[in-house]
Amino acid sequence: MYKKKLESKMAPKKAYKPFRGASSFNQPQGMAQAKSQDLSQSSNQISSKKSLDNDLIIDSIGLNYVTKTVPTNLVRNQQDQSRFNQKGDGSRKINGLSRTKGPKRNGGPRRNDKQGNPFQSKNFGSGSINVDFHKKTNGTEVSASGLIENSLKIYPLGGQEEVGRNCTVFEYDDDIIILDMGLQFSDEDMPGIDYIVPNVSCLRGKEKNIRGVIFSHGHLDHIGGAPILLNQLGNPPIIGRQLTLAMIKHRVEDYRKGTSKNLKTILIKNISDKVTLGKFKISFFQVEHSIIDAVGLIITTPHGTVIHPGDWTFEDGDKPGNTFGYSHLATLPSPKILMLESLGVSYIKERVSVKTSTDNLEKVIGGAKGRVIIGTFASQLERIAHIITYCEKIGKKVALDGYSMKINVSIAQELGYIPPHKNTLISIEKISDYDDDKIVVVCTGAQGESNAVFSRVVNNNHRFVKIRKADTVIFSSSVIPGNERSVQKVKDRVYRLSDNVIHSDIMDIHSGGHANADDIKKVLKQIQPDFFLPVYANHYMLVETKKLAMREGFKEEQIFVLDNGNVINFKKGQKPVVFKEKVNTDYVMVDGLGIGDVSEIVLRDRRMMAGDGMIVVIATIDAKTGSIIGNPDIISRGFVHMKENRDLIEKTRAKVKQIVKDNNPMTPADDDYLKNKIRNEMGQFLFVSTQRRPMVLPVIIKV
């Protein structure tokens, strides 16, 4: 699926410089080459005789490159030569993309291609690119708050007051861009719900104004909602780094087969690339995080420069490779608006470095006398790659287990981030073919998810892996807030099965991907923003981050703690304003293929059935007299065992008879009225009798 098809006119190979502790990786081959579909699959492919480092490639099927400039000598391949249009005014037009020479045509007219996708051609003289896959509306657009203003508006649709569901909208007049479309896993009080995605109802009717969706990195709390939300919003262009886009493409295809071909992708090939989407000029900077290809954003607008690192951390001192700082961002145009992830603000301990955690991991794996079983996140590709590389060095075999982990590693291998390691990686079915001290199992589920591989191993439900006393079991992940109880249950079970259990409480085995309080202080000092918006955390964490910033000298009027749906308005020379009116951010719950069709009423019913069960009352009524015929049937599910509670069941039957009798049997019964009466009175009767309130489902049969 991800097999590379290299073009003959691509740029020379360039060495990939990993940004985070990846010195053990082999450098990906051909990182400068495009990963695209065959030219035969797309008539929109643009080729160039020059290096494609500074080309704009539009390909409605494969991955696309958008970088800083478009060469004036763009040419078609032979099949498309007839569609190349050289205009007499010195500009070139290719399928709606208009390239002008010099400043003469800056701000020139929009050109429409044959497919109806217009591209705006202005500011080419200054070396930027405007990409517009949708026609703009005429006039001033009404903002999310209902006000008409020429200003920058920012409103989170998720990620505030919670961990996950990260999604932020930036709106300037009739231009909209979106940062991330994450999911949030359901809580214990949401039975049957798979996950929750951001509510984009506030963008309905504005689909043509959405210039693009930018993805900061490939974690599910940032890309998990993409298959659903991109489709709901008319499939706007998506922008991101290579691994991020590949993971999104797979997730979209996995959600509904055949839909990934509808993606319009813009690949950020180099960290120095710049993209202009309407009035938003976007550049990127590398960040330290626990996944490859994570980036931060600089969004430049006429009314402020937004700096958003996404998920981030610092990696100082002994980290392999270059350590990245943020001080250069202090020179950006004012007013500077810093949006900073604050998930680790309560963590005051010194953070474990990548080198320390990997060194300790090597010691444990290398010194293990039996098998090593490691539970970690499927997206921890650098850690997984390091484990594989080290095991190859010491002669051990590695078995990966977990659907998402296998897919992510496969994608990373196809893109060149992880070497093949054909002699080291084995299937989980083959682990019994080797001595125990030669086996390392890496699997998903360290958060205690009931159906994940690690949990199945711990609960003795895995087909090929049963934990033995001599095994070494490693928890190589941090605990996501809210998962503490489930993780503790897994730990308790592991300690009963193995004599060698390693986790971060007893050894520096894990380096987190989120900044702590000291990191936040450093960034605030380096950037010195004019305005500060803590993001991506529970409300108490956002407030703690505000307090930290005030201790560092920031004034309260510079700091804004937003809730989901708050709209903050920035206009140059004026104080920011948070509108009283919020946009709708109600939960959109996903249950299988059902999206948003599970309401709070449905959840209440599920909770009721899960907690107190259900009782079905079937009564046969004479249609003429309204009297009950025979004994009503009672069916109990999850409430009481009928054979052991015959007395209660008989009292229940008698109560139903009394309710029907009191309904005036001389008058024909109204079905809805009678059902409601049985439901209410039976509910009260059963609660008094048992102190439980099951769901009562009346069924009336008229004869």
CATH class as words, domain 599-702: alpha beta
Q: How far is residue 450 CA from its own chain's centroid?
A: 21
Range picked from 73-82, 177-186, 661-670 for highest mean pLDDT: 177-186
Provide the residue type at 637 as one letter. R
Q: Can you give the pLDDT at residue 668?
A: 53
Q: Can you give the pLDDT at residue 513?
A: 66
Six token digits for residue 538: 């529970």
Residue 300 pLDDT level (bands cut at 50, 70, 90): very high
Residue 509 pLDDT level (bands cut at 50, 70, 90): confident
In sequence order, the β-bridge partners of residue 441 are 373, 399
Residue 107 pLDDT level (bands cut at 50, 70, 90): very low
**What's the mean per-residue pLDDT of the chain?**
74
Contact 184, 162 (CB under 8 A): yes
Report the alpha-carbon distance of residue 535 to residue 62 in Å, rounded: 33
Task: List the 531-535 sheet strands across, edge first.
Answer: 274-277, 280-286, 295-301, 304-308, 336-341, 531-535
pLDDT digits (tens, 9 = 90+) for 641-679: 777 788 888 888 888 888 888 876 555 556 788 888 888
Least confident of 316-325, 407-416, 572-581, 674-683: 316-325
Handedness of CA 209, 212, 214, 220 (dihedral sign): positive
At CA 381, angle to CA 375 and CA 383, rounded to 5? 60
In 431-461, which positions are buried (b, 16+ CB within 10 angstroms) versus exposed (e)?
beeeeeeebbbbbbbbbbbeebbbbbbbeee
Q: Does 181 have pLDDT greater than 90? A: yes
Six token digits for residue 297: 């954003």
Q: How far is residue 382 CA from its own chain's centroid?
A: 19
Domain with CATH 3.40.50.10710 in the chain: 354-401+411-454+464-501
Neighbours of 401 (CB within 10 A): 24
At CA 213, angle to CA 209 and CA 219, rounded to 5? 160
Least confident of 321-325, 339-343, 357-361: 321-325
Report the alpha-carbon distance of residue 558 to residue 86 in Å, rounded: 52
Report the alpha-carbon distance of residue 445 to residue 13 in Å, rounded: 38
Considering only CA atoms, which of 97, 53, 103, 105 is closest in space to residue 76?
97
Report the alpha-carbon distance of residue 147 to residue 11 in Å, rounded: 48
Q: Does 601 have pLDDT greater than 80? A: no
Contact 598, 586 (CB under 8 A): no
Task: List the 210-214 sheet strands across, edge first.
Answer: 265-267, 238-240, 210-214, 175-179, 167-172, 152-158, 568-570, 577-578
Handedness of CA 294, 300, 301, 307 (dihedral sign): positive
Q: Does 569 have pLDDT greater than 60? A: yes
Domain with CATH 3.60.15.10 in the chain: 152-348+513-591
Report the alpha-carbon distance of residue 54 to residue 70 in Å, rounded: 6
**If you compute the radius of gyration of the chain from its CA atoms, what whole number of angstroms results?**
30
Six token digits for residue 307: 């700096």
CATH class as words, domain 354-401+411-454+464-501: alpha beta
Six token digits for residue 43: 């008539």
Considering only CA atoms, which of 150, 202, 206 is closest in space to residue 176?
206
Contact 482, 321 (CB under 8 A): no
Q: What does the DSSP assignment read for 11-75?
A: PPP-----SSS-TTSPPPTTTTS-----GGG-TT--B-SS-GGG-----SSS--B--S---TT-B
Residue 116 pLDDT level (bands cut at 50, 70, 90): very low
Q: Can you give the pLDDT at residue 138?
A: 37
Q: How many residues does the chain have?
A: 703
Q: Does 534 have pLDDT greater than 90? A: yes
Handedness of CA 138, 143, 144, 145 (dihedral sign): negative
In sequence order, the β-bridge partners of residue 619 are 700
Report the alpha-carbon distance of residue 67 to residue 266 in Å, rounded: 9
Six token digits for residue 155: 């409103």
CATH class as words, domain 152-348+513-591: alpha beta
Q: Can you give the pLDDT at residue 134?
A: 42
Provide the residue type at 561 as one letter. V
Contact 487, 448 (CB under 8 A): yes
Q: Does 477 have pLDDT greater than 60? A: yes
Between 538 and 316, whose confidence is greater?
A: 538
E strand segments, 268-353: 274-277, 280-286, 295-301, 304-308, 336-341
Contact 523, 307 (CB under 8 A): no
Q: Can you give the pLDDT at residue 73?
A: 31
Residue 304 pLDDT level (bands cut at 50, 70, 90): confident
Cis peptide before 335 (omega within 30 of 0): yes
